[in-house]
Amino acid sequence: MKKINMLIYLLLFFIPYTNLNSQPLITKSVIKIYTVYDSYSYDNPWQMSGQSKGTGSGCIIDKERILTNAHVVSNSTFIQVKKAGEAKRYTAKVLSISHESDLAILSVSDPSFFIGTQPLQIGDLPEIRDKVAVYGFPTGGEEMSITEGIVSRIEQRNYAHSSANLLACQIDAAINPGNSGGPVMIGDKIVGVAFQSAMRGENIGYMVPAPIIKHFLHDIEDGKYDGFPELGIKFQKMENPDIREKYNLAEDQSGVLITGILIDSPAKNILMVNDVILAVDGTDVENDGTIEFRPGERTSMIFLIQKKYINDNITLSILRNGKVMNKTIKLTVPMNSTRLVPFEKYDTPPTYYITGGLVFVPLTKNYLLEWGNQWFFTAPSELLTLYQKGIRTPERKQVILLSKVLADEINLGYHDIDNIIIKSVNGNLISSIEDLIEAVENNQKEFHEFEDIDGNKIVLKRDKVLKYSQRILDTYKITSDRSEDLKKQK
């Protein structure tokens, strides 16, 4: 199975369900998935990391589609599937994928694969203490496994695959590698997809719940995936009575305080810092930032935003300077796009630019993962701080690193430099890697000067860089001085 950080993806897996009459129907639609994948190297971004193999689970849904986890098929180069109880494998491909919600749809071109199957239907969000059955193919055998558990908690949770904070259901059931992507059933309806387990604690597993599955399936009906929307604000709780008094909340009012409006936010010029959000689409927000989504059940107010689709409108009731008002916002920005340091990306080549043997990259979680499973403790602290707390501004839309120096005679003296944050190039402040490229390629002075955030400088003669950059690329078997995405902007 694929290596997973923090939480283990393998997963879930519970089973025998009390409605035994539905099992024959379900088992004919449960799928084992075999993947070959090759991840990109972010340490050497011009090459791949090397081929690996993994397995997972899935199920057939309507329109001859297979529903599974995104992490089962991410970075895949070859996919095969087989039905429970059969030996023949069929070639499959990814039709749609949502890394945020860890869901994917596969297709099989051979129509004979679907003979004798019946698509499973998506049900509704289960109740706490509902008994569920989880179907899949954990390691330890080739045949399908069925385990059983109950829904023990429903709340917003960070998904290990994407770091996105979305609704999830906790299930008390045994966790086994290989069950990722398997259907979690109540009767003959899918109420979730098994996707991750906790590293600490016993019998703690999680499923992507039916509302998130339905959101994904509805999103891709037009043939493209847009994602879950984001409001693009920072806010804090108002549980202390003094802060509520300071911002003029009455005894019967509650809400959260807006502390920041991000540069890409669709709420820019509509909401203001120090506004208090009282309600979202008519649902009251408590002082701890939660809303009641069902009687007696609460979760974060962002759940109401994530129920929407890109370009939907949402109405917030706010308190501004003691006055209640309603503000309608068009949700145009997908979640996590406002981050300074992006969460982990899949199926996307890394961005890089090389000049004079200096390798420049934007800081991403993928880059931090090059420090291994304990990256959160072993990566440079200044980079971890930016990952955790960095905010995009007009002056800094990306963190640009000099990741390494490809040793050559022209960059002598700089060979040991790595992982430094670039502040300016040739006197120009750098907000993005495009800024860095422009500052290098438009420079007509005798020297190139790269300055880091501590004021240290790397100086190279411009004519040497022009003359010997290709020699360095050839020495290190690098076919291009920049990634494909930057070639399009050249």
From 99, 102, 161, 265, the catalytic residue: 102
**Closest to 49 (Cα-Cα) out of 61, 37, 41:** 41
> Which residues neighbour 485 within 8 Å (Cβ) at sequence distance 6 or greater?
349, 351
* CATH number for the domain running over 233-330: 2.30.42.10
Q: At 26, is the pLDDT very low, low, confident or very high (cuts 50, 70, 90)?
A: confident
Q: Are strands 165-171 and 145-158 parallel, antiparallel or unpaired?
A: antiparallel
* CATH number for the domain running over 353-487: 3.20.190.20
Q: Where are the beta strands (DSSP E) in 198-248?
A: 205-209, 233-236
Is 80 exceeded by the pLDDT of residue 16?
Answer: no
Burial class (CB in 10 A: 0-12, 13-18, 19+), 311: exposed
Whether 71 is catalytic is yes
Looking at residue 22, its pLDDT comes to 57
Q: At 200, is the pLDDT very low, low, confident or very high (cuts 50, 70, 90)?
A: low
Is 60 exceeded by the pLDDT of residue 415?
Answer: yes
CA distances from 136 to 18, 72, 177, 183, 346 (A): 17, 13, 10, 7, 24
Looking at residue 196, its pLDDT comes to 86
Is 50 exceeded by the pLDDT of residue 36?
Answer: yes
CA distances from 463 to 309, 448, 471 (A): 52, 9, 14
Contact 153, 129 (CB under 8 A): no
Question: pLDDT tens digit string along 144-173?
Answer: 988 889 999 999 999 999 999 999 999 987
Is 60 exceeded by the pLDDT of residue 76?
Answer: yes
Whether 180 is catalytic is yes
Give the amino acid at 353: Y
From 39, 57, 71, 265, the catalytic residue: 71
| Residue 246 structure tokens | 């300071």
Residue ranges of domains in the chain: 20-222, 233-330, 353-487
- Cβ burial 232-244 (10 Å sphere, 16+ → b, else e): bbebeebeeeeeb
**Closest to 180 (Cα-Cα) out of 154, 159, 157:** 159
Separation of alpha carbons 472 and 464, rounded Å: 11
Is 50 exceeded by the pLDDT of residue 12?
Answer: no
pTM of the model: 0.90
Q: Specify the CATH number for 20-222; select among 3.30.930.10, 3.40.50.1000, 2.30.29.30, 2.40.10.120.
A: 2.40.10.120
From 76, 101, 180, 469, the catalytic residue: 180
Question: pLDDT tens digit string along 203-257?
Answer: 788 999 999 999 999 999 999 999 999 999 999 999 999 999 999 999 999 999 9
